[in-house]
Amino acid sequence: MNTALYEDELLFLAHSVTLEQEAAERLYELADTLEVHNNRPLHALFLELAQLSERHASDVLAHCQGRQLPALQAWEYSWPDAESPESFQYSQVHYLMSAEQALQVALEVEQNTLGFYSDVARRTTQPSLRQLAEGFAREEAEHVKAVQARLQALQCPALNNLDLDPPHSPE
Amino acid sequence: MLKAKQYKSGVKPIWCPGCGHYSVLNAITKAFAALEQSPEQAVLVSGIGCSSRLPAYLNSYGFHGVHGRALPLATGLKVARPDLNVIALGGDGDGFSIGGNHFLHACRRNVDLVYVVMDNEVYGMTKGQASPTTPEHWQHSKLTPHGPEVRPFQPCALALAAGAGFIARGHSGDPNGLAQMLFAAVKHPGFAFVQVLSQCVTFCPEQVQWKEQVHAESVGTDNPAEAAHFLHSDDGFAKGIFYCNPRTPWPLPHDSQATDLREGFRL
C-alpha cells in the first residue's frame, strides 16, 4: 500500500469515504439483483446491510465537513487488495446462496475493513490520524460483532466454508 | 463532473448474482467519470447475450443490436458521428462465433472505437453451452458431453494478427484496474480491443478460481513481433495492456469528398 496513506489525513479520509460508499453501492446493487431474482429473504437482508453501510458512509463524511479531500481516480486508491476492503467480490455471491453464506460474506468484508483501519492506526505517526483510524476501527469492530451475532442466531453448524450450490442446468 | 454511479440508468440488472458483468458495468462508469464526459457523448452498442444487456444499465445512448452485429453497427455509427465516443460490447459467443468475421475486419479496418468482450467461455443466456472460448475438455453441457474437443479461440492473438492497434485483457475481479484499461482504450486513436475475463458463476462455477489464476503482465509493447511472442506463450490468464501501436484510424482523410465524386459521375 501507498505509505502516504499512513501519514496524510485527507488521503486517509478520501479512502474511508470511498470505502464506505462503494460498500453501500455494492450491497444495494446485490439487494436489487436478489429482488429481481425473487429471493426476498436475501433481498431484505442485503437491503438492511446496505442501509447500515450507507449510514456509516454518512458518519465518515461528517468527519470531512469543510475539508477538501483529494480527488482520486478509481485506480489511484491504495487498497490492500484489488478493491476497497468492504466491497465483497462479485464472485463471492450466487443466486442460490443461503442466509448463512450471505452473512459469512458480510462478516468477511467487515473483518477486512477492521483490518484496514487497524493497520493505519498501527502504522501512522500522526496522532490525529491515529485517533481517527482507531475510531473507525472501533465502529467496524462493532459491525463484526453484530454480524457474528446474526450468524450465531441462525445456529448454523458449518460456518467456515462457502459451499456454493452446483449450477442449474435444465437442458 | 459526474460520479461513477451517476452514469447508471437506474434499470436493475437481471444478471445472476455473482456475474462478472456487474464489475465491467462498474468499471465502465469509473472510466467515464475519469474521462469527464457527459453521458450524451457516449454510445454503447451491443449484440445479443447476457453481456449485451449492458447498454440498458447506463444512461448514455445505447443500441441493443442483433446477434454478432455489434461491430458493424458501431462502425457505421462512428463513421457517421465521429464526435461520439463509441463502445461496442458483447460476449464471447456473440463476438467470436456469429460475429467472428466482423471482429477480424474491425481489427483490420481500425475505426476509432472500443470493443469490450466479456468472456465467460460459455453461452449463459441459453443456459450454458460451449462457446468459441470454452476450454477443450469442459464437460458441463449435455450438448458436448466430452467437452467441445476443439481448441479454444485465442482472441488477443487473433486481434494482433488481424491488425488491431490496442490489445488488452482485464479481469472482473479487478474493476479498478479494468477502469484504467478502458480509460486507456478510449484514449487510444483507432480500434481498441479489451477482452475481460468475466466469470459466469451459474454455469461455470469453477471460474470463481480465476481470481487466483489471473496475473498482471507489463508487456505494453508497440512491437508486433514481441506481442506475438508473448501472446503465443500466454496461459490465457495474463492481464494488462499487451500491445499499443496507434495508427491513423479509418476512414482516412481525403481531399475529395463524396459530393465531388457525384459531380464527376454526373451524366
pLDDT digits (tens, 9 = 90+) for A88-147: 999 999 888 899 999 999 999 999 999 999 999 999 999 999 999 999 999 999 999 999
Single-letter amino acid code for the residue at B218 = S
Contact between residue A123 and residue A101 where contact means Cβ atoms under 8 Å apart = no
Instruction: Scan for cell 470493443, then name that residue.
Output: B115
Distance from CA of B167 to the nearest CA of A (A): 19
Contact between residue B191 and residue B165 where contact means Cβ atoms under 8 Å apart = yes
C-alpha of B247 from chain center: 19
The closest CB to that of A167, out of B5, B12, B140, belongs to B140
| A33-47, A116-130, B78-92, B187-201, range with the lowest pLDDT | A33-47
H/E element holding A117?
A: helix A99-123
B34 vs A contacts (CB less than 8 Å): 73-74
Of residues A161 and B210, which shows the higher confidence score?
B210
Count of Cβ atoms closer than 10 Å to residue B137 Cβ: 10
CA distance A99 to A115: 24
Q: Do A91 and B20 touch (CB under 8 A)?
A: yes
- The fraction of chain B above a pLDDT of 70, given in percent, is 97
Distance from CA of A85 to the nearest CA of B (A): 13
The closest CB to that of A164, out of B15, B203, B205, belongs to B205
A89 vs B contacts (CB less than 8 Å): 173, 211
B201 vs A contacts (CB less than 8 Å): 91, 93-94, 164
Question: Chain A: residue nearest B20 by CA?
Answer: A90
CA distance A51 to A25: 10
- For residue B200, give the C-alpha cell: 459466469
Q: pTM above the 0.80 mark? A: yes
CA distance B100 to B92: 9
Count of Cβ atoms closer than 10 Å to residue B209 Cβ: 11
pLDDT digits (tens, 9 = 90+) for B250-264: 998 877 666 666 777
CA distance B116 to B108: 16
Cis (ω within 30 of 0) for the bond into B249?
A: no
Count of Cβ atoms closer than 10 Å to residue B161 Cβ: 15
What residue ranges define each of the domains in chain A, with the CATH number in brackets? 3-64+87-153 (1.20.1260.10)
Instruction: Scan for cell 478502458, then name that residue.
Output: B182
**What is the mean pLDDT of the segment spanning B53-58?**
98
Single-letter amino acid code for the residue at B6 = Q
CA distance A37 to B19: 13
Is the confidence at residue A1, as pLDDT, over 50? Answer: yes
**What is the mean pLDDT of the segment spanning B80-108?**
97
Is the confidence at residue A160, as pLDDT, over 60? Answer: no
Q: Do B179 and A73 touch (CB under 8 A)?
A: yes
Contact between residue B15 and residue B22 where contact means Cβ atoms under 8 Å apart = yes
Using only C-alpha atoms, chain B has a radius of gyration, in whole angstroms, of 18
A97 vs B contacts (CB less than 8 Å): 17
pLDDT at A2: 81
Q: Do B128 and A91 touch (CB under 8 A)?
A: no
Q: Do B176 and A82 touch (CB under 8 A)?
A: yes
Single-letter amino acid code for the residue at A20 = E
Confidence tier at A159 by pLDDT (50, 70, 90)? very low
Is the confidence at residue A161, as pLDDT, over 60? Answer: no
Is the confidence at residue B60, as pLDDT, over 50? Answer: yes
Count of Cβ atoms closer than 10 Å to residue B141 Cβ: 19
**What is the mean pLDDT of the segment spanning A45-50?**
94
What residue ranges define each of the domains in chain B, with the CATH number in brackets? 15-264 (3.40.50.970)
- For residue B45, give the C-alpha cell: 452498442
